[in-house]
């Protein structure tokens, strides 16, 4: 991966109006400007284009990712968003988040097709796994280790276990591995200190821009 580390992703999920995202971007951009790694934000689909324009015109050091991508390419798939439709406005796509696996029945086969579509469109997948046994499709560079019990629960994995699992994932291939699951400004640094985990995927704690900038400040 060419982007600098640590790689920190704010997954806004189905939260925030455009007005609130503008405020968020404005606030986070100040800290992102001096952050040595890569800051990525994932707003909902309708806001990707306008966020891309705003980031470009302000020259902010923030990149964009979609929270998902369709398993279909363009065609008669009502409600879907194809990789080729967003490839010019974002750099990455989260694929296989456990909320997608659980709520939308996404299985390993579907996720492999999504990864293939993303790569074909030159969108870099950020592929989420539950543990070291989750199959990782061919071509995935960035893997997010996210134990389901840690997501949104306030019960993060221990840094020790996260290091062990991340090391095992790295042994499976040439992967950049990030950790996600109840990361906040108090525990963020503990996951990165050994140099095994390359970044963080942040959900709930990214919604408050001040808490998210505190996370960035704690790990730079
Ligand atoms: P959380 O979410 O930080 O709220 O646990 C992480 C994620 O879903 O990626």
CA of 156, closest atom in ligand 1: 5
Q: Which of 97, 99, 106, 175 is catalytic?
A: 97
Cα 174 to ligand 1 centroid, rounded to whole Å = 24
Q: Which tokens hold the place of 73?
A: 């390419």
pLDDT of residue 220: 84
Report the SS3 class of residue 124: strand
Cα 199 to ligand 1 centroid, rounded to whole Å = 13
Residue nearest atom 1 of ligand 1, based on CA coordinates? 203
- Please state, in angstroms and as integers, the Cα–Cα distance from residue 45 to each residue in 16, 58, 69, following that order: 12, 21, 10
Any catalytic annotation for residue 138? no
pLDDT of residue 2: 77
Cα 57 to ligand 1 centroid, rounded to whole Å = 29
Cα separation, 119 vs 116, in Å, equals 5
Which residues are near ligand 1 (CB < 6 Å)? Answer: 11, 146, 151-152, 180-183, 201-205
> 10 Å Cβ neighbour count for 167?
14
Q: Containing H/E element for 28?
A: helix 18-32
Task: Report residues of the chain scoring pLDDT below 70.
Answer: none
Classify residue 196 by its DSSP letter: S
Cα separation, 176 vs 178, in Å, equals 7
End-to-end CA distance of the chain: 19
pTM as predicted: 0.97
Q: Which tokens hold the place of 18?
A: 């455009």
> 10 Å Cβ neighbour count for 174?
8
pLDDT (tens digit per residue) in 150-174: 999 999 999 999 999 999 999 999 9
- Please state, in angstroms and as integers, the Cα–Cα distance from residue 191 to each residue in 56, 67, 144, 179, following that order: 31, 23, 13, 7
Any catalytic annotation for residue 146? yes
């Amino acid at each position: 991966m060419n982007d600098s580390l640590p790689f920190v992703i704010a997954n806004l999920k189905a939260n925030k109006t455009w007005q609130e995202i503008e405020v968020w971007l404005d606030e986070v951009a100040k800290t992102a400007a001096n952050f040595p790694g890569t800051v990525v934000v994932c707003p909902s689909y309708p806001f990707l284009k306008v966020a891309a324009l705003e980031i470009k015109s302000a020259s902010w050091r923030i990149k964009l990712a979609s929270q998902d991508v369709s398993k279909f390419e363009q065609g008669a798939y009502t409600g879907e968003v194809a990789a080729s439709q967003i490839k010019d406005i974002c750099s990455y796509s989260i694929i296989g988040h456990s909320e997608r696996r659980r709520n939308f029945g996404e299985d390993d086969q579907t996720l492999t097709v999504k990864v293939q579509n993303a790569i074909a469109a030159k969108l870099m997948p950020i592929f989420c796994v539950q543990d070291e046994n989750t199959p990782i499709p061919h071509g995935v560079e960035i893997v997010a280790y996210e134990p389901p019990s840690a997501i949104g629960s306030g019960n993060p994995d221990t840094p020790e276990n996260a290091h062990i699992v991340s090391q095992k994932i790295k042994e499976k291939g040439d992967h950049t591995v990030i950790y996600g699951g109840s990361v906040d400004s108090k525990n963020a640094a503990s996951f990165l200190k050994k140099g095994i985990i390359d970044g963080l995927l942040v959900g709930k704690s990214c919604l408050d821009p001040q808490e998210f900038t505190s996370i960035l400040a704690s790990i730079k």
